[in-house]
Amino acid sequence: MRGGIPICSMVASLCFYAAGLLWNDVFDASIDAKERPSRPIPSGRVSRVLVFLVGVGLAGVGLLLAWNGFSVALVLLGLILFYNVLAKHIAWIGVITMGCCRGMNIYLGAATSWPMGETPVVALLLWVMLFFTGYIVLVSVIAKNEAVPGAKTGKVRFLAPLMCLLLVPLFLWFDRGMWWPPIVVAIGLAAFLFRSLRVPELVAGLIRFLIPLQCVCCLAMYESGCKWVVLFFCSCFIGALLAARRFSGS
Going along the chain from its start, the domains and CATH numbers come out as 1-117 (1.10.357.140), 147-250 (no CATH)
Q: What is the pLDDT of residue 219?
A: 81
pLDDT surpasses 90 at 127: yes
Cβ contacts of 14 within 8 Å, gap of 6 or more: none
DSSP assignment, residue 2? -
- Please tell me the distance from the alpha carbon of residue 40 to that of residue 28, in angstroms, as a whole number: 12
Q: What is the pLDDT of residue 112?
A: 81
pTM above 0.85, yes or no: yes
Residue 171 identity (one-letter amino acid) = F
**Contact (CB, 8 A) for 20 and 83:** yes
pLDDT in tens, 60-70: 999 999 988 89
Which percentage of the chain shows pLDDT scores above 70?
86
pLDDT surpasses 60 at 119: no
* Angle of CA points 57, 243, 45, to nearest 5°: 45
- Please tell me the distance from the alpha carbon of residue 87 to that of residue 73, in angstroms, as a whole number: 19
10 falls in which pLDDT band (50, 70, 90)? confident
* Better-predicted residue by pLDDT, 201 or 131: 131
* Better-predicted residue by pLDDT, 142 or 177: 142
CA 192 centroid distance within chain: 19
Which percentage of the chain shows pLDDT scores above 90?
49
**Contact (CB, 8 A) for 114 and 120:** yes
pLDDT in tens, 77-88: 999 999 999 999
Cβ-based neighbour number of residue 187 at 10 Å: 13
The residue-averaged pLDDT of 27-33 equals 88
What is the helix (H) or strand (E) element at residue 111, kind and residue range?
Answer: helix 93-113
The residue-averaged pLDDT of 6-15 equals 88
Closest to 88 in 3D by CA, of 28, 15, 160: 28
- Please tell me the distance from the alpha carbon of residue 177 to that of residue 160, in angstroms, as a whole number: 20
